[in-house]
Structure 1
Amino acid sequence: MTTFANSALLVTGASGNLGRIAVEELLARGATRVIAGTRDPAKLQDLAAKGVEVRKLDFDDASTFASALAGVERLLIVSTDAVGRRAEQQKAIIHAAKTAGVKHIVYTSAPAARPDADAGLNPEHFWTEVEIAASGLDFTILRNHMYAENTLADAAHVVSSGQLFGLIGDRGTSYVTREDAARTAAGALLKAEGKTVEDVTGSAPVTNVERAALFSKLAGKPVQVIAITPAELQKGMVAAGLPEGFAGALVAFQRDAVIGYHGVVTDVVERYTGRKPTSFADFISANKSALGA
Structure 2
Amino acid sequence: MSETILVTGASGQLGRLVLNHLLETQKVTPARLVAGSREPTKLSDLAGRGIATRAVDFDKPSELGAAFAGIDTLLVVSTDALGEPGKRLAQHKAAVAAAQKAGVRRIAYTSMPNPEPGNPVLFAGDHYGTEQAIKESGLAYTIFRNGWYQENLLMGLPHAIASGKWFTSAGSGRLAHVAREDIARAIAAALASKPQGNATYTLTGSQAFDTDEIAALASAVTGKPVEVVHLSDEALLEGLKASGLPAPVAALLVSFDANTRAGTISDVTNDVKKLAGIEPRPLRAFLEDNKEALLAG
Q: Same fold (TM over 0.5)?
A: yes
TM range (shorter): over 0.9
Separation in structure 2 between the aligned mates of residue 133 and residue 20 of structure 1, nearest angstrom: 26
Normalized against structure 1, the TM-score is what? 0.94
Question: Which residue does the alignment assign to 1:48?
Answer: 47
Gaps of 5+ in 2: none
Deviating above 4 A after TM superposition, structure 1's stretches of 4 or more consecutive aligned residues are none
**Which amino acid in structure 2 is aligned with residue 232 of structure 1?**
A
Write the deviation string for residues 23-66 of structure 1: whole angstroms up to 9, x where unpaired. Answer: 11111112120100011112111111111111111111223312
Secondary structure at the residue paired with 1:199?
strand
Tell whether the 8 Å contact from 1:116 to 1:123 is kept in structure 2 after alignment: no
What pairs with 1:145-160 in structure 2 (closer than 5 Å)? 145-160=147-162
Q: Does 1:244 align with 2:241?
A: no
Separation in structure 1 between the aligned mates of residue 113 and residue 239 of structure 2, nearest angstrom: 25
Gaps of 5+ in 1: none
Tell whether the 8 Å contact from 1:115 to 1:127 is kept in structure 2 after alignment: no
Secondary structure at the residue paired with 2:187?
helix
Question: Which residue does the alignment assign to 1:31?
Answer: 28
Question: Which residue does the alignment assign to 2:284?
Answer: 281
Question: Which residue does the alignment assign to 1:169?
Answer: 171
**Matched pairs, number:** 289
Counterpart of 1:218 (choices 204, 216, 221) is: 221
- CA change 1:78–1:15 in 2 (3 A) is same
Question: Which residue does the alignment assign to 2:66?
Answer: 67
Tell whether the 8 Å contact from 1:104 to 1:137 is kept in structure 2 after alignment: yes
What pairs with 1:1-293 in structure 2 (closer than 5 Å)? 3-4=1-2, 7-28=3-24, 29-32=26-29, 33-83=32-82, 84=85, 85-116=87-118, 118-167=120-169, 169-191=171-193, 192-292=195-295
Separation in structure 1 between the aligned mates of residue 275 and residue 53 of structure 2, nearest angstrom: 25
**Which amino acid in structure 1 is aligned with residue 280 of structure 2?**
P
- What's the CA shift for 1:222? 1.1
Greater alpha carbon shift after TM alignment, 33-42 vs 164-173 = 164-173
* CA RMSD between the two structures: 1.5
Secondary structure at the residue paired with 1:76?
strand
Tell whether the 8 Å contact from 2:80 to 2:88 is kept in structure 1 after alignment: yes
- What's the CA shift for 1:117? 8.2
Write the deviation string for residues 54-100 of structure 1: whole angstroms up to 9, x where unpaired. Answer: 11111112233122101000010000000131100000010000111
Secondary structure at the residue paired with 1:211?
helix
Instruction: Report the identity percentage.
Output: 41
